[in-house]
């Protein structure tokens, strides 16, 4: 697995529950951006705010809508190991190509607790696990040493997604594994540098809004043309940073609405984008498409 | 409400589900420490790791076992506003004297999102809310300014529990409210200083293990005898710090087991205390009781 | 040595050099506040901004003006070990009762480099050294473990001044030394809690401006009357925080000027207090004295 | 000015004073690495640990030894504005091509204090100033907004050196100035990404030890061949990180000694490399040259 992995939001209907029809259309929209994979139920997908039934419906609908056109990586993360096992098993059974597992925490976890958590989950399934480090949302930070140890010692942990935004983590993963461990970047404003450092791909919600430049940037990187990649990146950096700092569910939903694909507001306590921020985003989208 | 509020662990039986008989006995044990209130389903109570039915059973059992002997403050915190409202309403209906609400987060919340979250919850119930700041577990930090604004503008927000361990937050709450806002300390190694700074009380799991010194310290503070309070505090500081840094569910359960009140292990991925740490704790308990 | 240690500013004359007459008057003013010691050439004294000759003149003038009425602790800190030795030897020769040594840094120092620095300095003199931890100004942070090791193993290191503002450091010094190591608090907004935790004293510039309440607070602490101490502390906390956050040289000089003891501006790039901040300070001083 | 700027250590002789003969040879050695400029009296050059006479001797000797073959950027930073002006004027008079000014601090400086400091210095000279941000050593952090404001509003501030290691600062400088502000990277382990982001150059001590790969990496970047640049960077990253984390004066001096160019130890309290670290470095140098 390599390339651009696009995140899906979870659209909500008027009654506040997942709007599965809109979700199917978003799958089509995202695949139409000519990217390499899609990922429902990540941070952008408000997975943490869904109940079990809602999570299942979103996973199943996405896999069905994708219909094998691109791989589907399902976010499957819970506070307890038991719930995480259940989710990963379900995802596998429904046809997911891989799962992305974030070590959610309330009490901080030790490295051994995290390792055992992933080992237990991995033993329960036979599809690949993307170990996902995002200390800002998970409340726990996995060091490159721990990530590498899990990659080396746990069979199904085959790739890492790094969203800490610290390029030195990526260097460390490279050095620890002699360049063997495929790492994906999950921090939009670090995309250019992650590619420079050898990232296998970029997991991002941006293709929902600016699919063309994202794909062009990937192609420039593949052609080893970093001058072109830099131009594309810097031209879109304001937008890439804006959608992250405003909270991806709120900003991406606002952007999709501006583009004629309404999918409701984020779930409370998360609030929709303010009118001022929405206007800013509208301007950025106009600039991006001209 | 003032004084020592004791936290309850959630005991688990052999099958991994809450052991309600043991819980009732723990309620008796904790009330026997002559403290001023008890709090189930907080951080110590592994609330975040329970499903809805388990949470309900623990809340109901605790309230029934307390039987009005001391006030019961029920931890009622969820990622969504809707779930938090449901929990708080249930707690009120079952007879809770107050609820303790922590703003759990995945995406960071803005001050306005947090304010609206508490306002919505407060409108749904008529018992007092203790606004609980614990950035290390909640993933979001409420400033003294925000806490004071909620205390001032939201009817049922009547007290604050500060667990950040930063004494300057308590000073700020005092200055902002002209000494009006009752704040409780939730950080064991700061207990002495929080009382010096005028805290209304101390929310702590320590009475499960060393009820005598904790109560004696409170009495010394009430008598304005801080020399005595300091002696009691410093004599027990190693233990107070140890049970916090090892994760309260694991350390308090180990301590209760050592005292003849087994209540199972924390729920995975949280692991029980290692044998070495358990031996350290046993020694501390011996010193504390002699 | 115990009690309130008052910091001196370094007054500058119209030509920008130290105004030694004004300095002598400030020494009298500070001793008149009935405190237990005075300290020239600390952070408040802009020691880091003086050249060798200026530093010598300030040290000699202060010691002479004090004339044995109270102990004088001279700040003697340089980036190199050799310069620090020279300064400490001079201070001893001129009659200082003790020196306060801060490990200034450009490159971060290892614990061993800091230990050897203090050991070399201590061997060169025979008066006591107050090891001074202030990571915000020194650029290097000394752990309680390192401070205790120096206290235990280096003959003239007999006391510690902690200005990190972290009360847990003071607890750690107590536990490591079984209550033997005398620690002074150097963070104004932590004064009440440091006394609660057993501090031997408080090093502060505040007596320049509000000598009465500071001395009264010390007396209340000595009488184990922390309710009274808390009242005095909280009544003056706004001022204590203000003079720290605005930079002590600028704020204390402005305050002294407002009180009729002009002593010039801080040395550039440090700028004097803005007019707005000066008005705020004037109000605080009025409140403090009524 | 663009490209690789090489840092000089300050060699010390047996008596502990600057060894100017060795310094001249180091200048030749560094220029022989085919780089684009040299910089004495930076962090690597232990500038902060030298007295005025020593600083002057090192500056003059370097400029004379360079003899116009490459531009010389002299580090000229002091705690006071007045001393900084004096140093910058001297450097200009002796023939420096530019000065590199770091806002040294004891008390934290406000943005206005920093701006006025640079403005005063700039007015006193007519050669370019490289504004140097290195919060770890200077104790004060200049935001991209402040750096851009100084670049825009102060005539001689014509370039920035960013050593914070945060790639987002470089992006911010680009966006704020519409790509106009030339920024140099000063953090070795970020060199690849800084070039990807458009850095005008790299200020580094590494050419003292591994001139070949550093120059080859620059050439690859100029040829827009980032795959080659990445290979060169990752092959040497262990060494680039090692010399930084061990303190550049100690590690680079050890490396030069291993290469047959002894230049003494760093000045105390800085200690020379331990034998173990020296052996590690020797191995890295062997790998780099084979």
Distance from the D212 Cα atom to the nearest Cα atom in chain C, whole angstroms:
27
Q: Do D234 and A167 touch (CB under 8 A)?
A: no
- Residues in chain A whose beta carbon is closer than 8 A to a beta carbon of chain D? 165, 167-168, 171, 174-175, 179, 189-190, 192-193, 195-198, 224-227, 230, 234, 237-238
| Average pLDDT for chain C | 97
Q: Do C112 and D249 touch (CB under 8 A)?
A: no
Q: Among A71, A96, A59, which residue's Cα sits nearest to residue A1? A: A71
Distance between CA atoms of residues D183 and D191, nearest Å: 12
Residue D288, pLDDT score: 84
Alpha helices per DSSP H over chain A: 20-31, 52-66, 81-94, 111-124, 135-138, 144-153, 167-176, 191-196, 207-222, 226-245, 248-258, 275-288
E-assigned strands of B170-238? Answer: 183-185, 201-204
Q: Could you tell me if residue B240 is inside a domain? A: no
Residue B288, pLDDT score: 84
- Looking up residue A74, the CATH number of its domain turns out to be 3.20.20.70
Edge-first strand listing for the sheet containing C201-204: C37-39, C3-7, C201-204, C183-185, C157-162, C129-133, C98-101, C73-75
Instruction: Count up the domains in chain B and report the number.
Output: 1
Q: Among D175, C125, D220, D238, which residue's Cα sits nearest to residue A174? A: D238
Residue D235: pLDDT over 80: yes
Distance from the A66 Cα atom to the nearest Cα atom in chain D, whole angstroms:
34
Relative orientation angle of helices D207-222 and D248-258, to the nearest 10 degrees = 100
Distance from the C219 Cα atom to the nearest Cα atom in chain B, whole angstroms:
14
**Which chains would you list as touching C if contact means 3+ CB atom pairs under 8 Å?**
B, D
Question: Parallel, antiparallel, or unpaired: how do β-strands C201-204 and A73-75 relate?
Answer: unpaired
Please write the tens of the pLDDT for every residue from D130-150.
999 999 999 999 999 999 999
Distance between CA atoms of residues B263 and B26, nearest Å: 9
Dihedral pair phi/psi, residue A157, rounded to 5°: -80, 100
Q: Do A116 and B271 touch (CB under 8 A)?
A: yes
What is the per-residue DSSP string for C3-16? EEEEEPP--B-TTS
Structure token digits, residue A85: 């096992």
- The single residue listed with the structure tokens 């976010």 is A75
Do residues B37 and B5 lie in contact, with contact meaning Cβ atoms separated by under 8 Å?
yes
**Cα–Cα distances in Å, from C184 out to C39, C173, C190, D118, D185?**
13, 11, 11, 37, 42
Distance between CA atoms of residues C140 and C138, nearest Å: 5
Distance between CA atoms of residues D216 and B244, nearest Å: 53
Polymer length of chain A: 290
Please write the tens of the pLDDT for every residue from D8-18.
999 999 999 99
- Residues in chain C whose beta carbon is closer than 8 A to a beta carbon of chain D? 43, 48-49, 79-82, 103, 106-110, 112-114, 116-117, 120, 136-137, 139, 247-249, 267-271
Distance from the C256 Cα atom to the nearest Cα atom in chain B, whole angstroms:
26
Residue B290, pLDDT score: 66
Distance between CA atoms of residues D128 and D133, nearest Å: 16
Q: Do B175 and C224 touch (CB under 8 A)?
A: no
Residues of B in contact with A137 (CB under 8 A): 106-107, 139
Residues of B in contact with A136 (CB under 8 A): 108
B141: left (phi over 0), alpha (psi -120 to 50) or beta: beta
Residue A288, pLDDT score: 84
What percent of chain C has pLDDT above 90? 98
Residues of C in contact with B168 (CB under 8 A): 165, 189-190
SS3 D63: helix
Q: Do C193 and B167 touch (CB under 8 A)?
A: yes
Residue B179, pLDDT score: 97
Identity of the residue in D49, D107, D248 whose CB atom sits nearest the CB atom of C270: D107
Q: Tell me what the mean pLDDT of segment D199-209 comes to.
A: 98
Q: Which helix (H) or strand (E) holds C237?
A: helix C226-245
What percent of chain D has pLDDT above 90? 98
**Domain residue limits at C243:** 3-288
Q: Which helix (H) or strand (E) holds C159?
A: strand C157-162
- Residues in chain B whose beta carbon is closer than 8 A to a beta carbon of chain C? 165, 167-168, 171, 174-175, 179, 189-190, 192-193, 195-198, 224-227, 230, 234, 237-238
Please write the tens of the pLDDT for every residue from B181-211.
999 999 999 999 999 999 999 999 999 999 9
Q: Tell me what the mean pLDDT of segment A55-69 comes to.
A: 98
Q: Tell me what the mean pLDDT of segment C133-161 comes to.
A: 97
Give the residue numbers of C annotated as catalytic, written as ranges: 132, 161
Distance between CA atoms of residues A47 and D60, nearest Å: 64
SS3 B286: helix
Q: Tell me what the mean pLDDT of segment C189-215 comes to.
A: 98
Q: Do A107 and B137 touch (CB under 8 A)?
A: yes
Alpha-carbon dihedral sign for residues B181, B187, B191, B197? negative
| Average pLDDT for chain A | 97
What is the per-residue DSSP string for D153-198? HSTTEEEEEE-S--HHHHHHHHHHTTT-S-EEE--GGGHHHHHHTT
Q: Tell me what the mean pLDDT of segment A53-65 comes to.
A: 98
Tell me the pTM.
0.96
Q: Do C49 and D120 touch (CB under 8 A)?
A: no
Please write the tens of the pLDDT for every residue from A251-285.
999 999 999 999 999 999 999 999 999 999 999 99
Residue A290 — pLDDT band, cuts 50, 70, 90? low
Residue C288: pLDDT over 90: no
Residues of A in contact with D234 (CB under 8 A): 171, 174-175, 179, 198
Residues of B in contact with C217 (CB under 8 A): none
Residue D289: pLDDT over 90: no
Identity of the residue in B106, B108, B268 whose CB atom sits nearest the CB atom of A82: B268
The segments of chain B whose pLDDT lies below 70 read 290
Q: Do C179 and B225 touch (CB under 8 A)?
A: no
Distance between CA atoms of residues D157 and D130, nearest Å: 6
| Average pLDDT for chain B | 97
**Which chains would you list as touching A if contact means 3+ CB atom pairs under 8 Å?**
B, D
Q: Could you tell me if residue B160 is inside a domain? A: yes
Identity of the residue in B81, B139, B270 whose CB atom sits nearest the CB atom of A268: B81
Residue A58: pLDDT over 80: yes
Residue D290 — pLDDT band, cuts 50, 70, 90? low
Residue D287, pLDDT score: 87
């Amino acid at each position: 697995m390599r390339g651009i992995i696009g995140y899906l939001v979870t659209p909500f209907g008027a009654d506040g529950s997942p709007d599965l029809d809109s979700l199917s259309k978003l799958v089509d929209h995202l695949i139409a951006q000519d990217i390499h994979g899609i990922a429902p139920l990540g941070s952008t997908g408000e997975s943490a705010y869904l109940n079990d039934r809602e999570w299942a419906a979103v996973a199943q609908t996405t896999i069905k809508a994708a219909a094998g056109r691109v791989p589907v990586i399902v976010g499957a993360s819970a506070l307890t190991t038991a719930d995480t096992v259940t989710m990963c098993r379900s995802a596998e059974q429904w046809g997911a190509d891989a799962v992305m597992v974030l070590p959610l925490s309330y009490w901080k976890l030790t490295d051994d607790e995290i390792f055992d958590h992933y080992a237990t989950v991995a033993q329960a399934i036979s599809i690949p696990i993307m170990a996902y480090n995002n200390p800002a949302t998970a409340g726990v930070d996995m060091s490159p040493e721990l990530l590498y140890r899990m990659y080396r010692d746990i069979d199904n942990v085959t790739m890492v997604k790094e969203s800490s935004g610290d390029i030195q983590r990526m260097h460390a993963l490279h050095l620890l594994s002699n360049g063997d461990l495929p790492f994906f970047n999950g921090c939009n404003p670090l995309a250019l540098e992650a590619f420079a450092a050898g990232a296998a791909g970029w997991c991002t919600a941006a293709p929902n809004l600016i699919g063309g430049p994202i794909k062009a940037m990937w192609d420039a990187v593949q052609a080893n043309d970093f001058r072109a990649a830099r131009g594309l990146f810097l031209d879109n950096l304001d937008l890439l940073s804006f959608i992250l700092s405003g909270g991806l569910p709120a900003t991406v939903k606002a952007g999709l609405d501006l583009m004629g694909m309404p999918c409701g507001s984020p779930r409370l306590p998360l609030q929709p984008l303010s009118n001022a921020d929405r206007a800013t985003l509208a301007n950025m989208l106009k600039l991006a498409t001209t």
